[in-house]
Chain A
Amino acid sequence: MVGALRKFLDLPRRLPVWNRALNWIWVPGAALFVASQALNLQTTTLGDVYWLLALGVIMAMLLVLRDYRPARSLLLAMAPFVLYKLVEYVLETPQGKIPKQYDSALDTSQAFVIIWLFTFIFIARSQKKQLEKEQALREEEEKAKRLIEAQNAQLEHLVAERTAALTNQAEELRTALTELRTTQAQLIQSEKMASLGELTAGIAHEIQNPLNFVNNFAEVSAELVTELEEEREKPDRDLELEADLLADLKQNLQKIHQHGGRAASIVRGMLEHSRASSGERVPTDLNQLADEYLRLAYHGLRAKDKTFNATLKPEFDPSLPPVAVIAQDLGRVLLNLLTNAFYAVKQRQQKGEPGYAPTVSVSTRRVGDDVEIRVRDNGTGMPESVQAKIFQPFFTTKPTGEGTGLGLSLSYDIVTQGHGGTLAVESREGEGTEFVISLPV
């Protein structure tokens, strides 16, 4: 009975003190039994008292446990039984007999009380089962929850790890990007310097010519002055000759000035080319700019390869309006396109086609709101596969060491980003190539 109660009510867990006390529930019974034996009392009263005590203990216990539903049901189940027992005890005669007049009422009550007792015990049992099921479910849920929490923690740990790795990576990438930017700036500068190197010989030639004229005209002018002085000393002065000499002198001074200016503008151009870009757009005569760089590119190549020769065809539109450009940047574009053009005609010339005349032409013209500069050559041309890649950085068809592969890529950036224009290419293998720079006026 005690065992069943313990099990049913889960006493060791719910009421450990009571549970221990229950171990001694037999003590009062045993004591009473010993007492009755010793006193030789032949009465059931003592047994009844013990039973009432036991019931009372159980009831009290159930009362304590009333928050537990099966205990409450059990309490409800036992209440009428205890009441009945109490009543029976009260009505009992000292001999343990129930007076006759209560017999039938008590019998009915007893049946009812027992049915009641078992019904509620049954209900309590099913309630307990229900509760156990719920508890099991809850425990399972709890377990699942704990599992999920553990997994969450693991995931969070993983996420933190990954985040750290990614942050690291991002930092590394940022450093790499900074390094790349620096390298790119250096490359652009060295590309500029490389093109300046290519130009040096051309520039030397271009400066040499006007300087020769300056020297020669200055020298010859001194001769003219001497001649003029001699003429004036003569008694029969040739006034016509004097006038001619004076006119020549005047013309020579103009020529000295003109050729001096030519040399100066070349030096200025060279300085502008090597200087970092000011980024300022200034209205510029594109015909003059194109002509300047056509000569520089040609003589630059000539300086490297003296056997090379090509026909230059400047076709400039004299009515071209000044266009706001960053002259040194656009100059680099032209220089690059022209250097490539000369390279292409040279390559074709080296194949030894009979009757081939290497020709490079630069033309300007106005088209609507745009100005076009076309650089055309009748060189080797490019297959489609090459055309598709020419504006990519580091793409070059030249042998290692001859081209940086940055020329056209930089040119493209200068024209499109620096000037809001377009740079297009048209080429046929074996026939030639044409680049078209289109700039808004």
Chain B
Amino acid sequence: MQILVVDDETDVRDLFQQRFRREIRSGEWSFSFAFSGEEALDFLRQHHSEVLIILSDINMPGMSGLDLLGHVKEEFEMPPTTMMMITAYGDDDSHRKALALGAHDFLSKPVDFAVLKEKLAHLRPA
């Protein structure tokens, strides 16, 4: 299953690839990365049906995670596309807004990878 991770920090790719190395090796998950909202939209348009889960940071320069969520909701069907938002500020405001915009789940930084893995496992079609 394809997961698109959107974050303006490029080292996120290395981190995810190592954190999920077993899952990637076993073919359980496959990761793609985008470093801005715009890049993520481009990627989604090109790989329309492949991506099911989008894991996006909210605080990004330019198009924010919430903007991206709006665009995704407009252009793609949700579900099956699922969006999970990450923010550095664990504030209720962003949480409420993300949920109102149709985000399926919400994580706050620093990301607890054990929790993330658990959530992802739930999202996997049985």
Interface of A with B (CB < 8 Å)? 205, 208-209, 211-213, 215-217, 220, 223-224, 248, 251-252, 255, 259, 298-299, 302-303, 306-307, 309-312
Contacts and interface: CB of A to CB of B under 8 A. Distances in A.
Interface in B13-31: 14-15, 18-19
Given A212-B110, A255-B14, 8 more contacts: A205-B89, A211-B110, A213-B9, A213-B15, A216-B19, A248-B18, A251-B14, A307-B93
Instruction: Identify the interface centre among B63, B64, B91: most chain A CB within 10 Å of its CB.
Output: B64
B94 interface: yes
B61 A298 contact: yes
Contacts of A216: 15, 19, 110-111, 113
Contacts of A205: 59, 88-89
28 contacts: A208-B109, A208-B110, A209-B109, A211-B110, A212-B110, A213-B11, A215-B110, A216-B110, A217-B15, A217-B18, A224-B18, A251-B14, A259-B11, A302-B59, A303-B89, A306-B89, A306-B91, A306-B93, A306-B94, A307-B97, A309-B61, A309-B62, A309-B63, A309-B67, A310-B61, A311-B61, A312-B61, A312-B62
Contacts of B14: 217, 251-252, 255
Contacts, number: 57
A205 B110 CA distance: 11
Interface residues of B, number: 22
B49 to A, nearest CB: 29
Contacts of A303: 89
Contacts of B61: 298, 309-312
A217 B97 CA distance: 31
Contacts of B91: 306
Contacts of B62: 309, 311-312
Contacts of B19: 216, 220
Contacts of A209: 9, 88, 109
A408 B89 CA distance: 31
